[in-house]
């Protein structure tokens, strides 16, 4: 029987917090020397001294939005009104919490498969931020296309950074789309509406052979999977993860 080692528990300090979109905060932690992960993996963060009761306990799973090539570990999340989120948002910098991981197989394959198309909704952008920063750092040779959907520009975490990465990686294209751009305080001149077959075929010329990665709220993930399958994409060419509120 193959022996699988249990991921280690690390004690890490909160170094910085930063608002990266409306109601969305990024949290930066020091990175243990022995901590190795792949872009797209997730970790468990635990707040042992959670003062208020939380029905879901003191541990949450977070995708690492930071890339393996970066010095600090970073996660980003919507700030919902739970005891866990309140403590994470309010605890002093340098507070030590427990980190366990990494976990997960939602990572880029090592083979020479063709175009990878990333379809993200809202905070589902976090694994793709990790993958795309790492791809630029390692000069990843394959074609990468990100289609990133939000209600409005102020909701789009990391969008400016992800657009700027196109200058570092000529094999990468970033397409943002807003479903309610008129409700925002900033003007949006890019794509509008939900990601659909028409939008996909506009930017993905080799849809039938591409590999699709889908991350976002459950309803969005389900809808995009059905849309892809109706477009003739085989299930084996679609990988997905659902991000639910907590």
User: Same structural domain for residues 62 and 132?
Assistant: no
DSSP3 helix / strand / coil % (the chain, rounded to 5): 25, 30, 45
For residues 129 and 97, membership in a common domain is answered with no
236 with 139, same domain?
yes
pLDDT score for 1: 40
Pinpoint the alpha helices (H) of the chain: 83-90, 126-137, 159-164, 197-203, 218-230
Does residue 226 share a domain with residue 163? yes
> 63 lies in which domain range?
9-103
pLDDT at position 83: 86
For residue 202, what are its two tokens?
A: 């506009």
Q: Which neighbouring-strand residues pair with 17?
A: 27
Q: Is 202 within a domain?
A: yes
CB distance 28 to 18 below 8 Å: yes
* Residue where one domain finishes, among candidates 48, 74, 103: 103
Both 129 and 79 in one domain: the answer is no
Positions in the chain short of pLDDT 70: 1-6, 50-55, 111-113, 183-184, 244-246
- This prediction's pTM: 0.92
CB atoms within 10 A of CB 211: 19
Quote the pLDDT of residue 129.
98
CATH number at residue 76: 2.40.30.10
Residue 108 resides in a domain: no
33 and 140 inside one domain:
no
Do 56 and 137 have their domain in common?
no
Q: Residue 55 has what pLDDT?
A: 65
* DSSP track, 21-55: ETTEEEEEE---TT----TT-EEEEE-TT--S--T
Q: Quick one: 164 exposed, middle or buried, by C-beta within 10 A (0-12, 13-18, 19+)?
A: exposed
**Number of separate domains in the chain:** 2
Residues 96, 43 within the same domain: yes
R_g over Cα of the chain = 18
Same domain as 145, residue 98: no
Instruction: Judge whether 4 lies within some domain.
Output: no
Q: Helix or strand or coil: residue 128? A: helix
- What confidence score (pLDDT) does residue 3 get? 46
């Amino acid at each position: 029987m193959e022996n699988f080692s249990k991921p280690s528990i690390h004690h890490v300090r909160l170094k910085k917090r930063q608002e990266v979109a409306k109601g969305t905060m990024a949290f930066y932690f020091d990175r243990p020397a022995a901590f190795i992960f792949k872009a797209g993996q997730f970790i468990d963060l635990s707040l042992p001294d959670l003062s208020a009761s939380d029905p879901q306990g003191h541990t949450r799973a977070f995708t690492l939005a930071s890339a393996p090539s970066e010095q600090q570990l970073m996660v980003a999340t919507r700030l919902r009104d739970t005891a866990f989120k309140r403590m994470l948002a309010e605890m002093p910098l340098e507070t030590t919490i427990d980190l366990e991981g990494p976990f997960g197989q939602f990572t880029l394959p090592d083979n020479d498969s063709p175009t990878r198309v990333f379809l993200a909704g809202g905070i589902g952008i976090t694994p793709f931020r990790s993958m795309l920063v790492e791809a630029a750092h390692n000069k990843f040779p394959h074609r990468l296309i990100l289609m990133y959907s939000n209600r409005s520009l102020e909701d789009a975490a990391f969008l400016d950074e992800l657009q700027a990465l196109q200058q570092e990686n000529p094999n990468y294209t970033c397409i943002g789309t807003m479903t309610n751009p008129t409700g925002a305080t900033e003007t949006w001149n890019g794509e509008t509406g939900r990601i659909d077959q028409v939008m996909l075929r506009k930017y993905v010329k080799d849809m039938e052979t591409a590999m699709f990665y889908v991350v976002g709220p459950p309803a969005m993930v389900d809808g995009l999977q059905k849309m892809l399958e109706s477009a003739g994409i085989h299930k084996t060419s679609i990988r997905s993860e659902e991000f639910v509120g907590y």
